[in-house]
Chain A
């Protein structure tokens, strides 16, 4: 797991995060999901988010990342998933970028769908304030936005 910060980026006025340029790059393996959750907890603490907000982000990012590992990695663990974080006082934006195509990951209509992966997107939509999915030739990027308060990153109920 590789964590990189663009030291030339602009820092958020309310916390230690940058408005651009910091990301986590992991090998595309489900065993890394727990470490990503731990990293999100640290990010959330930097932003003074409460436990509920941190949990919401962990679930939403977990769904996006699990999708990237399962369906967005045509070369398996030789692929990487890059998770970017940026904070601009009002919102924490997390991007999950993989190297696959989004259309492959929808469950077949007649599948038993026991893995329930089809519920990942509804979970992301319910837990985050904005979700967008950008598909490009070289991969898919899920952008997850969580509003975090009035610019002071105050702890909200």
Chain B
């Protein structure tokens, strides 16, 4: 399965919706989209992982890299994760303490509108 990436803007917040599998092969697509979004001036970003069926450490690395980029512009990245398997990967690697994680896109967007 490939990785589908949709992006949109909601009230000034950049939203990336992922569907499929994020691994070494597909993660560069996500990295590229994140870089594009930051280049467009969107520094507060929601990444919706609800339809992600698989993620490995390369996917995590792209998210951490994206966070570094937006933080250099005083921005932030919030995640939407509802699948226990995906949450487990974030718990094991300690990233639940790095990213704000929400159970819906609306909650994540609200967190960034502050």
Contacts and interface: CB of A to CB of B under 8 A. Distances in A.
B4 to A, nearest CB: 14
Interface string A35-64: 001000000000000011001001100110
Given A52-B85, A123-B89, A116 B25 contact: no
A69 B21 CA distance: 18
Interface residues of B, number: 21
Contact of B64 (A30, A37, A62, A116): A116
A66 B54 CA distance: 14
Interface in A79-116: 113-116
28 contacts: A34-B2, A34-B21, A34-B23, A34-B25, A37-B21, A37-B54, A52-B85, A55-B54, A59-B54, A59-B56, A59-B89, A62-B23, A63-B56, A66-B23, A69-B24, A113-B61, A116-B57, A116-B58, A116-B60, A116-B64, A117-B58, A118-B57, A119-B61, A119-B93, A122-B92, A123-B56, A123-B93, A127-B92
A37 B21 CA distance: 10
Interface string B65-107: 1001000000000000000110001001100000000000000
Contacts of B92: 122-123, 126-127
Nearest to B58: A115
Interface of B: 1-2, 21, 23-25, 54, 56-58, 60-62, 64-65, 68, 84-85, 89, 92-93
A70 B57 contact: no
Given A30-B23, A33-B23, A123-B93, A66 B1 contact: no
A21 interface: no
Given A52-B85, A123-B89, A127-B92, A117 B57 contact: yes
Contacts of A113: 61
A72 to B, nearest CB: 13
Contacts of A116: 57-58, 60-61, 64
B6 to A, nearest CB: 20
Nearest to A36: B23
Contacts of B23: 30, 33-34, 62, 66
Contacts of A69: 24
Contacts of B84: 52
Contacts of B89: 59, 123
A58 B54 contact: yes
B47 to A, nearest CB: 15
Contacts of B24: 30, 33, 66, 69-70
